[in-house]
Amino acid sequence: MLLSLAISTAFLMEGLDSTIMVAAIPAIAADFHIEPLRINLAISVYLMTLAAVIPASSWLADRFGAKRTFLLAMALFMLSSLAAAFAQNLTQLVLMRALQAVAGALMTPVGRLLLIRSAPKDQLANAIAWMSMPALIGPVLGPLLGGFIVTYASWPFIFLVKMPFGILGMIFAARLLPPDEPGKRYDFDLLGFAYCAAFLGAVQLLLDQLVHRFLSPVAIIALIILLPVAALAYLRHVRGRPIPALDLSLLKLKLFRIGFFAGGLSRLGFNALPFLFQLQLQLGFGWSAADAGSVVFVIAASAILLKPMMRRALARFGFRITLVGNAMLGAAITAVLGFVGPDTPVAVMVVLVFLFGVMRSLQFNTTNTLLFAEIPRERQSASTSLGGVGQQLSMGLGISVAAVLVAQLQAFGLSIAAEAISVAIFIVAGLTALSGLFFLRLNQADGADVSRHRAANARN
């Protein structure tokens, strides 16, 4: 448990960093004397760089040792956070955010790899539950914490608040993690890495154009052309590589494939709702950022219930019933939250948000466990790399798709913010329900050695 919590500090810092800056955008823009929308570049660059650099994490962990890579990444993350706090203009801030993303892209996949290697299979679900709790809390805590920091202190502290967590995490990880095994020497797939980075960067930039346009028409056309070119080039390139940047052959493994695609769609829906609901409370209902953050934070608080719930749910129902049923329940609660209005009692909102948080936590942890349930040891490093890209991309896409939905609905005539956000919430509920249908491809006995599902074990 202590090892899981030590590693989870990296997830907490990265999760906080991906959302805490949203509340500080007006303050940073005023300090830099620029338009607030331009600050969005620092957020987009962070998400884009994070997803793009993850494929390098497995090679670095294999080449230099997972423990050494993890500790150096945590140190780099804290140093770049410190530098971001002292940024004097947008250019400096964007550069430091990109450096933070590089460190974050190494911390979380390598930390997950260390946990998978250290935990016995029958304890993997429990270990991931402990590790994932701060990762679930971070993105939701970010706007609340950022709002209070900007209101009662100043925006540079949003980068400094993570430092104590990082220092404690490094101390415990250095003491508890086993020594590194001898490094594996093989060439890094630099060309494949470049293709992946180009594809992921184009996806993020094109989504940003649907919210607010900052690129020329020629650049947008170039990005649209780049998407299929980079994807096809990588698929052709990967055939001749024994150890590619992203090992797509892992998708041949049934549980990993379902966890990657169905889990990605599920994660997209469950991540979009907290962003949309906080937007609804502030823009739709006119709440303050602090009040809205206090309600949305309940989503993170409900994750505390997850540890015993996940183990019992998996043991009782197995992966198939848990993931299908939980996705449908989550979709239903999401849809109900779309009907919430300014006259809805706060107590009702809190109950609904709390229930959603329980469903969200259970879905994330169960999906993460499913991803690695049948991965052989020699492919664990590659699986954390590909799985990390999928998870990070789906989390980033959740926020981006939510923003795109609201912007496009308003462009099509829903001029009242509350109405546009409500419709967006209904669409997100549909995406979450759709992910549940994809989990029906699982058999009841799938992953039984990890879930310890009694009915499946009895048949075997």
- Shared domain for 22 and 157, answered yes or no, is yes
The list of the chain residues with pLDDT below 50 reads 456-460
In a domain, 223, yes or no: no
Q: Is residue 208 part of a domain?
A: no
Concatenated DSSP letters for 207-269? HHHHHS--S-HHHHHHHHHHHHHHHHHHHHHHTT-SS-SS-GGGGGSHHHHHHHHHHHHHHHH
pLDDT of residue 397: 79
331 with 437, same domain? yes
Instruction: Check residue 457 and give its pLDDT.
Output: 47
The structure tokens listed for 211 are: 């919210």
Q: Where are any strands of DSSP class E within 273-416?
A: none
Q: Which amino acid is at 201?
A: G
Co-location of 180 and 280 in the same domain? no
Amino acid 435: pLDDT: 94
**What is the C-alpha to C-alpha distance for residues 317 and 456, in angstroms, rounded to an integer?**
9
Examine the domain organization and report whether 137 and 284 are in the same domain: no
Q: Are residues 172 and 286 in the same domain?
A: no
Q: What is the pLDDT of residue 100?
A: 92
Q: Using CA atoms, how far apart are residues 55 and 47, in angstroms rounded to an integer?
A: 14
Q: Angle at CA 63, nearest 5°, toward 60 and 69? A: 45
Q: 82 lies in which domain range?
A: 1-189+241-245
Query: pLDDT value at position 127?
Result: 65
- Which amino acid type is present at position 343? D
pLDDT for res 128? 65
Q: Is 228 among the domain residues?
A: no
> According to the model, what pLDDT value does residue 437 have?
94
The reply to whether 164 and 280 lie within a common domain is no
Q: Please tell me whether residues 39 and 158 are part of one structural domain.
A: yes
b/e 112-148 (16+ beta carbons within 10 angstroms → b):
bbbbbebbeeeebbbbbbbbbbbbbbbbbbbbbbbbb
Q: Among residues 136, 140, 133, 145, which one has the least CA distance to residue 277?
A: 140
Same-domain check for residues 258 and 174: no
pLDDT of residue 261: 93
| Calpha distance 26→146 (Å, rounded) | 12
For residue 198, the Cα-to-chain-centroid distance in whole angstroms is 20
178/38 same-domain check: yes
| Residue 232 included in any domain | no
- Element housing 19 (H / E): helix 2-19
Q: Which amino acid is at 289?
A: A
Q: Give Cα 222 distance to the centre of its chain.
A: 28
CATH code of 14's domain: 1.20.1250.20
CB–CB of 193/54 below 8 Å? no
Distances in Å between the Cα of 266 and the Cα atoms of 18, 57, 206, 262, 263 are: 19, 25, 22, 6, 5
pLDDT, position 458:
44
- Asked, for residue 217, whether it belongs to a domain, the answer is no
Total tally of structural domains belonging to the chain = 2
Does 271 share its domain with 122?
Answer: no
Long-range Cβ contact pairs of 229-234 (< 8 A, separation 24 or more): 230/195, 230/196, 230/198, 230/199, 230/202, 231/195, 231/199, 233/195, 234/192, 234/195, 234/196, 234/199
**In the chain, what is the greatest distance between 2 CA atoms, to the nearest angstrom?**
67
Same domain as 171, residue 58: yes
- Give the whole-angstrom CA distance, residue 377 versus residue 66: 14
Q: Is 194 part of any domain? A: no
Does 218 map to a domain?
A: no
Q: Are residues 143 and 287 in the same domain?
A: no
- For residue 381, being part of any structural domain is answered with yes
Say if residues 159 and 84 touch (Cβ distance below 8 Å).
yes
The residue out of 227, 245, 263 marking a domain boundary is 245
pLDDT number for residue 55? 78
Among 245, 264, 282, identify where a domain stops.
Answer: 245
- 335-378 pLDDT, tens digit each: 999 999 999 999 999 999 999 988 998 898 888 888 888 888 77
